[in-house]
Amino acid sequence: VIKNAFQCFDEDNNVTISEERLRELLTTMGDRYTDEQVDELFRDAPIKNGRFDYMEFTRVLKHGTKEKDEEKAK
């Protein structure tokens, strides 16, 4: 389900989605996030060159960010 949804928004079929597009989706669709919530998500997210990679995106959804994992281990 997540992969299908991600593919719908992966406009250039390179298994990534732009930071701007994801922000737009998170603030306008479904359970809308505030800009502050999106900023917090992006602060901890594995964004490379302004893009989210599908595999990292699903890892964050399942397990949280690496920074949060490291904090829990302390």
- pLDDT band for position 74 (cuts 50, 70, 90): low
Q: What is the pLDDT of residues 41-73, one digit of tens each?
A: 888 777 888 888 888 877 877 777 665 545 545
pTM of the full predicted structure? 0.63
Can you point out the beta strands (E) in the chain? 16-18, 47-48, 51-53
Domain ranges of the chain: 2-68
- Statement: residue 21 has pLDDT above 80: yes
pLDDT at site 1: 65
The fold of the 2-68 domain, in CATH, is Recoverin; domain 1 (1.10.238)
Q: Would you report the helix, strand and coil content of the chain in percent, each value rounded to 5? A: 60, 10, 25
Q: What is the three-class DSSP state of 13? A: coil
